[in-house]
Structure 1
Amino acid sequence: MIKLANHIKRIEISSLWSGHKHIVWDLRPDVNVLSGHNGAGKSTILNRLIQHLRSVPTTGDIQGNTRFGVKIEFDPSDATGIHYDVIRSFDRKMLSSEPIGALNDARIVTELDWQLYLVQRRYLDYQVNVGNRMIALLTSGDPEARDKAAIAANLKTRFLDIVDELFAETGKRIDRQSNELQFIQYDEKLPPYLLSSGEKQILLILLTVLTEDQQHYVLFMDEPEASLHFEWQKHLIGLVRELNPNAQIVLTTHSPALIMDGWEDAVTEVGDITV
């Protein structure tokens, strides 16, 4: 049976770029920002790590497996796997029309649209799970049940407030009467697929984090600053941590704005972990 880790402690990658470089990276449990010049290998390191995690069956021992030259150490040390999400920032056309055809929805035309569609399904499940948990708490006889139920409800409300605050300058707000994610702009309904690339990107990140329901897991992001306004970049890490303080963030970036809100110590240069 697989035992899930709280976070990744260390990754080692051997024979990066045909044996010329090896990577040894000790990770923090909260935020890890990988920086470096173009071509330094930031995305290559992230992709190799994700490739390794995806290659091992869920019943296998990811720590003990060294596929793709990757070795992982977890916390706790006897964990055999970890839950994770991957977010990439490119709003390009879908390479295959098959998923779109199956949905019969002409609004879904880019990879970000498709990711938004998938995470919206998670959002519906999340709302059901939170509702069921609140009912269980309120019928449990626990004297602190109301406070615990309020915490669960307040997290979703905080997510809605955050998105409304971010989109306020363009007159958009979330339709709070709808179970699905819909927006209102100047009294007209607006589906998320008609948002700008930057709006889709920030929405995808925050919605993904929310639907993990504050569990321990890793959020991988490859250059999440793409299409994001400077102010959104500055507050991105803080917003993710607010919605899920148990998430371990591992991201690559070219943007100094991402660390300007107190995360300078979380930066690792590719050269510093190359041996």
Structure 2
Amino acid sequence: MKIKSIYIKNIKALKDFKIDFNNNINILIGENGLGKTTILETIYNIITANESFVEDESSEGCNLELSFTKEELDFINRHRNRLKKTLFNIVDKIEIGKHGINQDMDFKKSFAKSNIAKEKWFRKIVYLPTDVNFKKHKVETAKMVHNSTDIGIILNSDEMSLNLKEYLVNIHYKDLEDMSIGETPYRIQKFKQLYNAFFEEKEFLGVKDFEPLFKIKATGEIHSADELSAGEKQIFFRGGSLLQMDLNDSIILIDEPELSLHPEWQQKILDFYKGIGENNQIIIATHSPHIVSSCKKEEVIVLDREDGRSVVKSNVEETYGWTVEQLLLSVFELKSVRNPEVQEKIDRFKSLYINKEKLNSGELSEFNELKNELEKYLDPEDPSLSLINIKEDSKKLEALLKNLKASNA
């Protein structure tokens, strides 16, 4: 099951809003308040038939279009009587409103107990909100951890940090049982491969005394998962929780995965989530140009503001492999990548330089003060210092002055 498009009639900033998705990676970007998080939440609420959402007047008129594989369609047809009017009953489109899916909420309650949830093709929709407050939890015994059979699940930090630890302890002991009878342990190994491919300075060792342990490669120091940095915890608990679910052919919604991550890790985080499973549709809301630079332009969806409402911007420039500065100026539409105060001083200096021969004493004093300040703080190789260091009699100066006057005309 993949999301083809969503239409939102009137929820917050999203009014008469439609957005199309591709089957693989979708990166939502745009300034705050345009509705990126609302899009993720609405997708989740529709597919999971969230009762509070369905009963809210704002849900009326929302429309979600899905695509299904032949296997999924066969399944729906086989169980059509049982599914009744649930979201899986309409193959091409799902419509939510006061007289729609809210009549069949009993389906969600009985779904986990049925054999339907055990069908090979059935997978979850998983939503990871911006919550990154991972609390410390002590595991005192090994016990079975059962994956939820609900249609969807929201992974918040507190639940992740407890559930993943218990799960890792449980499969650690299963690996030990396999070793005792001469079989090769494999469960913890897939978690090691995921993390050790991401972390360069640390290594995930596994579980000892009911606690996941990491080693700092440079010093050999060993510490628990609770001692990881905020960014490391996000990778460990979020990635591990998704890996635990064995997600393939699933829908994964992630809000601001760059939180607490060093820019180097932001560059790698998309590949990390791609490695969680196979054929997943991933929809991410982000403000990170480092993530966007890892995407082709057809994977990037830019939200803009038009007549007071959010719209999807057309004709997005190429993004893959672009520098952060290029992306900030073009796709993110920043006026400058500099501190606004510094940029204002540079612009003022250029303005004075153009009219250098006509400056009065006060303006000339201001010009020299700006010159000294910019030389003090900016990198000597900064192009903006070319006005200061250029020789007065050079042809390069004439060309530069011509360009400056043209740009300020």
TM-score of the superposition, structure 1-length normalised? 0.67
Instruction: Determine the structure 2 residue equivalent to 1:141.
Output: none
Separation in structure 1 between the aligned mates of residue 221 and residue 159 of structure 2, nearest angstrom: 23
Residues 56/41 of structure 1: CA separation in 2 closer, same or farther (3 Å cut):
closer
Instruction: Determine the structure 2 residue equivalent to 1:120.
Output: 165
The code of the aligned residue for 1:75 comes to: S
Structure 1 residue 85 corresponds to structure 2 residue 117:
no
Residues 127/266 of structure 1: CA separation in 2 closer, same or farther (3 Å cut):
farther
Instruction: Determine the structure 2 residue equivalent to 1:32.
Output: 26
Structure 1 residue 227 corresponds to structure 2 residue 255:
no
CA shift for structure 1 position 211: 1.7
Instruction: Determine the structure 2 residue equivalent to 1:14.
Output: 9
Instruction: Determine the structure 2 residue equivalent to 1:163.
Output: 195
Separation in structure 2 between the aligned mates of residue 84 and residue 126 of structure 1, nearest angstrom: 24
Residues 83/227 of structure 1: CA separation in 2 closer, same or farther (3 Å cut):
same
Separation in structure 1 between the aligned mates of residue 299 and residue 204 of structure 2, nearest angstrom: 33
The code of the aligned residue for 2:195 comes to: V
Instruction: Determine the structure 1 residue equivalent to 2:106.
Output: none
Residues 34/68 of structure 1: CA separation in 2 closer, same or farther (3 Å cut):
farther
Instruction: Determine the structure 1 residue equivalent to 2:66.
Output: 74
Residue 270 of structure 1: SS of its match in structure 2? strand
The code of the aligned residue for 1:47 comes to: E
Instruction: Determine the structure 2 residue equivalent to 1:174.
Output: 204
The C-alpha deviation readout for 1:117-143, integer Å capped at 9, x for no partner, is: 2233444667799999x9xxxxxxxxx
CA shift for structure 1 position 174: 1.5
Highest RCO, 1 vs 2 (Cα 8 Å, sep ≥ 6): 1
CA shift for structure 1 position 224: 0.7
Structure 1 residue 208 corresponds to structure 2 residue 241:
yes
Contact kept, 8 Å, 2:8 with 2:62, in 1: the verdict is yes
Residues 214/114 of structure 1: CA separation in 2 closer, same or farther (3 Å cut):
closer
Residue 175 of structure 1: SS of its match in structure 2? strand
The code of the aligned residue for 1:12 comes to: Y
Separation in structure 2 between the aligned mates of residue 40 and residue 255 of structure 1, nearest angstrom: 16
Higher deviation after alignment, 48-57 or 228-237: 48-57
Contact kept, 8 Å, 1:89 with 1:201, in 2: the verdict is no
Residues 89/201 of structure 1: CA separation in 2 closer, same or farther (3 Å cut):
farther
CA shift for structure 1 position 273: 3.5
CA shift for structure 1 position 158: 5.2
Residues 55/126 of structure 1: CA separation in 2 closer, same or farther (3 Å cut):
farther
CA shift for structure 1 position 165: 4.6
Residue 28 of structure 1: SS of its match in structure 2? coil
Residues 129/220 of structure 1: CA separation in 2 closer, same or farther (3 Å cut):
farther
Report which of the two structures shows the higher radius of gyration computed on alpha carbons: 2
Separation in structure 1 between the aligned mates of residue 49 and residue 175 of structure 2, nearest angstrom: 32
Residues 48/161 of structure 1: CA separation in 2 closer, same or farther (3 Å cut):
same
Kindly tell me the number of residue pairs found equivalent between the two proteins: 231
